[in-house]
Amino acid sequence: MTDSQIHTPVMLDRTVELLAPALEGPGAVLVDATLGMAGHAEAFLRRFPDLTFVGLDRDPDALEIAGRRLAQFGERVHLVHTVYDEIGDALHSLGIQEATGILFDLGVSSLQLDRVERGFSYSKDAPLDMRMDATSELTAERVLAEYSEADLRRIFRDYGEERLAPRYAQKIVERRASRPLVRSADLVEIITAATPVAIQRKGHPAKRVFQALRIEVNQELAVLERAIPAALEVLAIDGRIVVLAYQSLEDRIVKRALAARSTSSAPAGLPVELPEHRPEFSLLVRGAELASDDEKSANPRATPVRLRAATRIRRAA
């Protein structure tokens, strides 16, 4: 299996359609803040022959695969090992002042899910790692070994929206007192044993716990809270941003950030909107768009996606 065969980009046609008006002119710069295995990237570079492309990723494995895949495009491609809230610094390091298009394809990547040894999947036994960047220190094993019961309960509740968070946290703390949890199968065993059978019938009981651990290990929500405003700051006038989110916590952050910058700041009742109160952005889609039924059937990873998009209409004074 080749690199290009192991990843099907989600909502590719719609993403290209939305970003195209910002990428067709001279000097266009597209930042893919979540490069992954470069499925979206390759499509954009083929479609827009004059495009300068900047790909960001915290995962060195993804950068290596993407580098091979995009080598055919030569000097048009710039890849940066960084977390996407550093988008401004990444561009400035390349001598680029602003982007005309920005894409975020959030969540765990296909590469991370498909490589069992990374430990992201509850369905396959592997070390409890879950790091998107293997050079970082915090792992899921450390979280489970070192966090207090209260902190485990908090992350399962807040990041996994798990109603059984107190029970799971208690059982993990009880288990680690006798022997450590080092494999994903260890954690799945504990969660399954602590879950009523009626709830197990509704889906895998470990799904939300694994999501919560992954978010904690990689600080995904905290990074995203900083990343969307940072991306909006470096977007050019008439530039466009598209964000694909896969769970409600991510989508909520994106929705709030885009809404705040696309709404007038004028006080209620003001007879005339002053220029400084006008919104800086305009939303390109109503609410969040979903993948089509055909795409969901062909690519199950598109099932939970929520797409939001905006264009910059002015800069704040």
Q: What is the DSSP string of 81-137?
A: ES-GGGHHHHHHHTT---EEEEEEE-SS-HHHHH-GGG---TTS--BS---SSTTSS
Count Cβ atoms within 10 A of the Cβ of residue 315 and give its class: 0-12 exposed, 13-18 middle, 19 or more buried: exposed
Report the candidate in 77, 71, 68, 69 with the shortest Cα–Cα distance to residue 48. Answer: 77
Mark 81-116 as b/e (b = at least 16 C-beta within 10 Å): ebbbbbbeebbeeeebebbbbbbbbbbbbbbbbeee
Are 62 and 93 in contact by the 8 Å Cβ rule? The answer is no
**CA 118 remoteness from chain centre:** 17
Mark 268-287 as b/e (b = at least 16 C-beta within 10 Å): eeeeeeeeeeebbbebbeee
Kindly provide the residue ranges of all beta strands, DSSP E only, lying in 269-305, ordered along the sequence.
Answer: 281-283
Binding site for S-adenosyl-L-methionine, residues? 38-40, 57, 84, 105, 112
Binding site, residues? 38-40, 57, 84, 105, 112
Are 315 and 237 in contact by the 8 Å Cβ rule? The answer is yes
Distance CA 176, CA 162 (A): 21
Report the candidate in 281, 304, 291 with the shortest Cα–Cα distance to residue 22. Answer: 281
Tokens representing 97 are 């002042």
> Which alpha helices (H) appear in 135-219, and where do they start and end?
140-146, 149-160, 165-176, 184-193, 197-200, 207-218
Tokens representing 79 are 């890849």
